[in-house]
Structures are given as structure tokens and as C-alpha cells.
Amino acid sequence: MTIRLGILGAGARGADAYGRWVLQRPERARIAAVADPVPHRRERLADAAGVANAHRYPDWRDLVTDADRTGLDALVVSLPDRLHVEAAIAAAEAGIPILLEKPAATTAADLDRLAATAEARGARVWVCHVMRYQPFWQTLKHLVETGTIGGLVTMRIEENIGFWHFAHSYVRGNWRDTATSAPIVLAKTSHDLDAIRWFSGAAPISIASVGSLTYFRPEHAPPGAPEHCLDGCPVAEECPFYAPRYYVDALAHVDGFPVSLLGEDTSAEGRMEALRRGPYGRCVFRSDNDAPDHQQTTMDFADGMTATLSTSAFTGQNTRTVRLTGTRGEIAGNLRTGQVEVDLFSPRASLPESALTRVVGQSTRQPLGHKVFELYSGPVNAVGEPDHRGHSGGDDALMDAFVTSLAGGGEPSTTLKASLDSHRMAFAAERSRLERRTVRLEAA
């Protein structure tokens, strides 16, 4: 059975992540319709997939209306954040299964509306929480579930955004303005909140969060800094955020994301022209951004477990690090390197068997000489190095689970029901940050 998909939104996620997977597996799925208001994005994906001209839509609503006539089996919703609920509800009411890019909704009211519609219609909605499909996080979940470190007591995740990534997405890019996108705790760290909810097995009872937009503000602009980098910036040689250094020099051999967001012409000349007046060439201190550049969130659970989530723009890394402490052991990991360190406190403790990982080292740690195992868990490229493409394998694994499910092979773990709590956790965290108080989740 070949699954026929409609792609709503042919940007970085719709085309470069989910669409790419489909194009590489024509025996399992095909793209039968594409909707995107930007002509070059719509036509590029539609041409690659061989989509009929009649099934190329500027407006996603027309694609949904025609879904039955087009013979679609499911829709992939990868539109801008604020359109997710409207598109998902339209698809649910039409009886079409949906793969929905996160966040599922950008407000608590819209989330409740989507959940009610999905339940009333019996809709099949999966949310793109790709971390559940990464070998790295699956390894950590297996270690916790098998009791390797005893009862889980604390969980700490650091979301290191990377200074260049933050400037691209949250100062100059689509998620810079929370009024038109979503709060960063939802737009960026909803994956992390979903992982915390997944590991804890329950929603927290309270959440406290602090953070602000501290640095990327007009008062921090260097003297004489223009509106756009190419308008004669006096500190171009020393500024870490000088746009041409990233989009033209560092990414010279990249034509896809993030360069493709500049415009259709990705030549060096085309990039420079886009940076002269476009949003990605703005001075980072003179943009219309309001996304916090750092935020810390603490969660308290009924069983005594606690979790913390820290995110920052001011990092040289672009990865997640995690530390789990349990009553009989401790786990520390780095998503980018795929390295996991497991301390086992009991002298008789051992690692469970797992096909997801391999042991690359073993030692002991004083003063009691307890065992320490070094593991590698993650996809590798052709030369055996960590492969970070597609969210370290998560995008491909999610699409595989989605298409398998549509063909009758069971349900993925990221159903809408499974994602509701993590979204509500994000809304509570943002409310806590803005109101400067701890929020009880049931009262959020």
C-alpha cells in the first residue's frame, strides 16, 4: 500500500524534513498534493514529487477541501505556528489523519478547542515531537524504564540553542515575535517538556519559570550600528552576528535550510541582495523581536521528582545535554556527540541489553569504585561519525512510524493525547515567567 500525502506548508519542515523522507521512499509513500502561498517553495517540492498541476495550491484550505477527490490518505501540517489549529481542525472535520508540526496550538484555549474537536470526530492526530524517536532519548528512556538507575529523582535538560541559531530563528526569523508565532518555551522547548513528561509518566503539579530578553535590544546596539548589517556597520569585523558571515561565508555550500529561507536565489549575489533589506540581514539589536534570550523552568511532581529545563542563546554549542539522577545511579548525556555516561552505585549492578547503543568504555569511580559505563547512542554517517541530520535521526523515524501506522502498523507514541500535557506545561511556564509566580498546573 502506497500512502498518498498532502503537504500543507513546503518550508524547511514540510519539504526538507518530511517531504524529503517521502521522496526517498516512493514504494511506501508519495506526495500527491502541495499547498504553500510562496510559489517557488510550492513548485520546488511539487516538481520533485511529480505532483499534478491541479493539485498545487496557494491556499491550504483548497487542498483540504479537495482531499477526498485527490485520494489523500493523510495530511502533513507544517504551516506557520498560528495556522496549526485551524488547519488541524479542518482536516479532523474532513476525517483525514494528520501529522501536525509542533506546537499543536499556540494558546491554551486553542489547544482545548483542537482536543475537543479531535475527540468528537475520532480524529487521528500525531504531533511532531521528534525527540521520542531519536536513538539517544530512546536509550535514556530504556535505562530508566528498566530500573537501571533505580527510581528517577531529578531530571535536568539544557537546551543550548547556539548564538547563531538563536539570531537566525528568534531575533531575525519566524519565531522572533511571540504575537505572531509562539512563546519560545513552546516554539523551541516543547520537545524538552514532552521528554520530561514522557520520562516522568505524569504531569507536574507546579511550574515556576524565569527569563527575559536581556541582550538583543536597541540599547545594546554599538554606536553607529545601522538597521541592516550591509548598510555600513562599524563593528562588522568583530560582531558575532554579522549576517553575511553566517549566510554567505559559513554556509557557502548550503542551498537548503536555513539559506533557503532568504529567498529563491541562493547564489552568493542572491544572498547578499536578500540580506540588504530582508529580515535576515537586520542588525540583531534593531529587530522587532521579543523572544526571551534565556529562560529557566522548574517542575515539581506529585511523587517527589523534580525537573529543570534551561535554555540560552549564549552558547557555542547547538545541542541538548541531560542529567538524570536516580536512587541507584546517574545518567549524563550529550545529544550532539551521542555520548551517554552511566554511573551505577550498586556493586552488583549491570546494564540492560539494548540494540540502540553500544558500550565504548568502562571504568570505576572513587571512593567506592562504583562502575561507570560510557555508551554511544545515535545514528552515524558513512565514516562512522555522529550524524545530526534530521534531528539526529528523529525526523526519519517519526515519518517511518507515521506511514507505518497509516498502513495498519500500530500507533506512534506522539498522539495528540500524549502531547496535551507538555503543551499545558509550556503555557503554565510562560504564565509563570510573565506573572513572576509559581503556577499550579491544574489552575494554569
Which domain CATH number covers 50?
3.40.50.720
Taking the C-alpha atoms of residue 371 and residue 394, their distance in angstroms, rounded to an integer, is 30
Taking the C-alpha atoms of residue 325 and residue 443, their distance in angstroms, rounded to an integer, is 29
Residue 83 in this model has a pLDDT that exceeds 50? yes
Single out the residue in 74, 107, 127 at which a domain terminates: 127
**CA angle 323–325–327, rounded 5-degree value:** 165
All 3 cell numbers of residue 187? Answer: 516554539
pTM of the model: 0.92
Residues 174 and 300 in one domain: yes
Give residue 97's region: left, alpha or beta (phi > 0; psi -120 to 50): beta
Residues 177 and 201 in one domain: yes
Q: Give pLDDT tens digits for 301-353.
A: 999 999 999 999 999 999 999 999 999 999 999 998 899 999 999 999 999 98
Residue 128, Cα to own-chain centre: how many angstroms? 8
97 is in which domain, residue-wise?
3-127
Instruction: Kindly report whether the peptide bond that precedes residue 244 is cis, defined as omega within 30 degrees of 0.
Output: no
Residues 67 and 12 in one domain: yes
Taking the C-alpha atoms of residue 285 and residue 49, their distance in angstroms, rounded to an integer, is 41
Q: Give pLDDT tens digits for 145-197.
A: 999 999 999 999 999 999 999 999 999 999 999 988 899 999 999 999 999 99
* 385 part of a folded domain: yes
Residues 151 and 268 in one domain: no
Residues 178 and 306 in one domain: yes
* 122 part of a folded domain: yes
Residues 204 and 320 in one domain: yes
Q: Give pLDDT tens digits for 97-151.
A: 999 999 999 999 999 999 999 999 999 999 999 999 999 999 999 999 999 999 9
* DSSP assignment of 333-402: EETTTTEEEEEE-STT--PPP-SS-EEEEEEEETTTTEEEEEEE-S-B-TTSSB--HHHHTHHHHHHHHH
Q: Give pLDDT tens digits for 374-389.
A: 999 876 555 455 555 5
User: Considering its fold, how many domains does the chain have in total?
Assistant: 3
pLDDT at 386: 55
β-pairing, 206-212 vs 74-77, is: unpaired
Taking the C-alpha atoms of residue 70 and residue 72, their distance in angstroms, rounded to an integer, is 6
Residues 58 and 12 in one domain: yes
Residues 177 and 326 in one domain: yes
pLDDT at 1: 81
* 410 part of a folded domain: no
Residues 15 and 87 in one domain: yes
Residues 199 and 304 in one domain: yes
Residues 95 and 235 in one domain: no
* 433 part of a folded domain: yes
